[in-house]
Structure 1
Amino acid sequence: MRIFNEFTFEAAHHLPHIFPDGHINTRLHGHSFRVRVTLEGKPDGKTGLISDLGTVKAAFDSAHEKLDHRYLNEVDGLETPTLENISMWLWRHFARSLSGLAQVGVYRDTCGEGCEYAGEYEIERKAA
């Protein structure tokens, strides 16, 4: 069984080393992001809960503080703030405090884009 909670944040970024000069994403721009945190498990026989969703909200509050109304390129670990990297960054943040973490989704609804990450991949960071 899975439960989820969703949160939003607003942030700016640019992707200077991915696209050729002049590409729209090399310029500073912003997005409204929606994050879905999904937990998986068996409901407790006594409470009927997999987890208290208030725990998910508490875990998100500290991530929200680091991301909301920020320039994501300046957030430690998000120097290249793609959807994929934001998803992995959030996974690492939530994995420390959320038992049963199954998936983190990051969506830019106005663009019709998103990334769903289940903790299966970590990309190798190449030294600059």
Structure 2
Amino acid sequence: MRIFNEFTFEAAHHLPHIFPDGHVNTRLHGHSFRVRVTLEGKPDARTGLISDLGVVKDAFDSALELLDHRYLNEIRGLETPTLENIAIWLWRHFAAVLPGLAQVGVYRDTCGEGCEYQGEYEKREVTA
């Protein structure tokens, strides 16, 4: 069974070294981001819950403090803030405090774009 919670944040960034000079994404710009965190597990027999969503909100709040209304390129680990790198960064932020973390999705709804990450690279790094 899976449960999820979502939050949004606003942030600015640019994507250096990816596109040719003059490309729109090389210039400073901002987005509204939506993040979905999905937890997987079996509901506890006593509580009926996979997880207390208050714990998920606390994890969101700590991420929001670092991301909301910020310049993402200045955040350690987000020097190249693509959707993919933001999803990996958030996975790392949440994995330590959210048992059962199954997926982190990062979406730019106004652009019709997103990235969903299940921690595959984290698993490879641990087993390698």
TM class by smaller structure = over 0.9
Q: In the alignment, what sits opposite 2:92?
A: 92
User: What do residues 5-47 of structure 1 show as CA deviations (whole Å, max 9, x unaligned)?
Assistant: 0000000000011000011100000000000000000000111
Distance 1:29 1:48 in 2: 44
Q: In the alignment, what sits opposite 2:60?
A: 60
Q: CA deviation at 1:97?
A: 0.3
Q: Which has the higher helix share?
A: 2
Q: TM-score, normalised by structure 2?
A: 0.94
Q: Secondary structure at the match of 1:43?
A: coil
Residue 14 in 1 paired to residue 17 in 2? no
- Alignment root-mean-square deviation, CA: 1.4
Distance 1:43 1:16 in 2: 44
AA at the equivalent of 1:115 = C
Distance 2:30 2:24 in 1: 12
AA at the equivalent of 2:99 = S
Question: Alignment length, in residue pairs?
Answer: 124
Q: Secondary structure at the match of 2:121?
A: coil
AA at the equivalent of 2:92 = R
Q: TM-score, normalised by structure 1?
A: 0.94
Q: CA deviation at 1:121?
A: 2.0
Residue 103 in 1 paired to residue 91 in 2? no
In structure 2, the gaps of 5 or more residues are: none
AA at the equivalent of 2:109 = D
Distance 1:112 1:14 in 2: 18
In structure 1, the gaps of 5 or more residues are: none
AA at the equivalent of 1:82 = T
User: What do residues 74-124 of structure 1 show as CA deviations (whole Å, max 9, x unaligned)?
Assistant: 011100000000000000000010000000000000000000000002699
Q: In the alignment, what sits opposite 1:41?
A: 41
Distance 1:43 1:18 in 2: 44
